[in-house]
Amino acid sequence: MGPQASVELHRRVLTVASGKNAFMGHHFPRITHLSLPIREFRSTTKHADQAIAQISDAISSVLLEKVDHAVIACNTAHLFKEAVEAQLQGRLRSLRELAFDEVQQLGAKRVGLLASTVTLQEQLYEQPLQEAGKVVIKPTLKEQSLVEQLIGRVIAGHETTRDRIEINKLSQALINRGCHVVILGCTELSVLNRRPSRNIIDPMSLAAKALND
């Protein structure tokens, strides 16, 4: 979830493994990759029940005794975190929690957030950050419209160099408003993030590292 984002996470897990001196086939982790054809719910929760049912059914097809860690390559799907975590017997590595821990470690006080409309509406990131005393700065309505367009193009596999430039511009706009860091709270936006930056928190990259621990 979604198709391009899960492939990118898979690639980053292997890249991190290579960086840890994996150079032969048996050095790399065993990966079970489930790419699920779930109806879009980044802008509405209308199909949320159908989504959780599909996720639950897919998890049931995995041999859990062979799984050390699991991750959902979708921030919005963290709406179902508790149900998924229970089914995975506590093995879920949460994108949201990894990002939150990074914010805490960096000591950032003002946090920018780029994410899907539902992630923003449900305050998946905003609530825990505010409870920790952080100031959360979100995009304007015009900027959020662009964010949704970028997400849609990545899901369709139609992203361009121009889109990668746009995500950098959106992040910089939030930094210019006083953010110490910007969280890419949507894995499709992580797909567009090809240049590591100390001001950008990319939960997908954090997950790739965590899955190699």
For residue 213, being part of any structural domain is answered with no
User: Are 69 and 104 within one domain?
Assistant: no
Q: Which pairs with CB-CB distance under 8 Å and at least 24 residues apart come from 198-206?
A: 199/171, 199/175, 200/171, 201/99, 201/102, 201/103, 201/106, 203/75, 203/95, 203/96, 203/98, 203/99, 204/5, 204/8, 204/9, 204/12, 204/73, 204/95, 205/12, 206/95, 206/98, 206/99, 206/102
In this structure, the answer to whether residues 34 and 81 fall within a common structural domain is: yes
- Expressed in angstroms, the distance from the first to the final Cα of the chain is 23
Q: Same structural domain for residues 132 and 189? A: yes
Residue 170 sits in a domain whose CATH number is: 3.40.50.1860
Q: Are residues 67 and 113 in the same domain?
A: no
Q: Which residue shows structure tokens 């639950």?
A: 56
- pLDDT-derived band at 47 (thresholds 50, 70, 90) equals confident
pLDDT, one tens digit per residue, over 93-124 is 999 999 999 999 999 999 999 999 999 999 99
Domain that holds residue 70: 3-87
What is residue 129's predicted lDDT score, i.e. its pLDDT? 97
Q: Which of 87, 115, 148 delimits the end of a domain? A: 87
120 and 196 share one domain = yes
CA 132 to chain centre: 20
**What pLDDT sits at residue 48?**
81
Tell me: do 110 and 80 sit in the same domain. Answer: no
Task: Classify residue 118 as exposed, middle or buried by CB count within 10 Å of its CB (0-12, 13-18, 19+).
Answer: buried
Under the banding of pLDDT at 50, 70 and 90, the label for residue 125 is very high
Residue 190 has, within 13 A of its CA and on its CB side, a CA count of: 29
7: pLDDT strictly greater than 90: yes
- Token pair belonging to 73: 């390559």
Instruction: Evaluate if residue 1 carries a pLDDT over 90.
Output: no
pLDDT at 140: 97
Of the residues 70, 87, 104, the one at which a domain ends: 87
Task: Provide the domain count of the chain.
Answer: 2
Q: Band the pLDDT of 128: cuts 50, 70, 90.
A: very high
Average pLDDT over residues 10-18: 95
Q: What is the pLDDT of residue 2?
A: 83
Mean pLDDT, residues 127-156: 97
pLDDT band at 200 (very low <50, low <70, confident <90, very high): very high
User: Same domain for 144 and 50?
Assistant: no
When the pLDDT of each residue in the chain is averaged and rounded to a whole number, the result is: 92
- pLDDT-derived band of residue 199, with 50, 70 and 90 as boundaries? very high
**Residues 55 and 143 placed together within one structural domain of the fold:** no
The more confidently predicted of residues 1 and 127 is: 127
pLDDT per residue as tens digits for the range 75-96? 998 988 888 989 988 889 999 9
Distance between CA atoms of residues 213 and 209, nearest Å = 7
